[in-house]
A = this chain, B = another copy of it.
């Protein structure tokens, strides 16, 4: 259980939660790895391994207790205790994330948003005032915010990320199309739509060829 969980396993866990919630809403009490595997198109062995890595245990012949499994996985994912975050860059995508209601249930709490556009400073988006980026470092330090969400244009990504680190942040969720160079130990996770789009258009063109 204390073994480092592989990233692919970690990435599959949220989908388990969604499916388990559906079953729970239907009043189900128990679930087997066969059920999960079929619904999520995975190998049953893989499901068992993932659940085991998340610290869940089931009972032979019965399966996993649904409520217990849900709690275990959600807790493992950290969805029960919120992580505070600052968001920098309130363009289309940044604003959309600010307005997204789902983060609360997933343990993410965006405290404030920053931008450089004078027209935006002082405006309120979904209950948060947009502040000038010059206040980022000081506020991050004072409020001990450890996670930064980076939704600035590509050119601004590197310097903005450096400010986040300067403010004491240790994790960055990067939506900008740029590769960040930051000190060892800083956790960077990229959300690059281009990557998925690349896979999609490549497969699409292969599929069109073979007709």
Contacts and interface: CB of A to CB of B under 8 A. Distances in A.
Interface string A110-151: 000000000000000000000000000000000000110000
Interface of A is mostly: helix
Contacts of A201: 77-79, 83, 107-108
- Interface size grouping (class) on chain A: 35 or more
A154 interface: yes
Contacts of A76: 202
Contacts of A28: none
A104 to B, nearest CB: 12
A179 B10 contact: no
A208 to B, nearest CB: 8
A171 B10 contact: no
B154 A194 contact: no
Contacts of A208: 146
A198 B11 contact: yes
A78 B41 contact: no
Interface of A: 5, 7, 10-15, 18-19, 39-41, 76-79, 83, 92-93, 95-96, 99-100, 102-103, 106-108, 146-147, 154, 170-171, 173, 177-179, 181, 185, 187, 189-205, 207-208
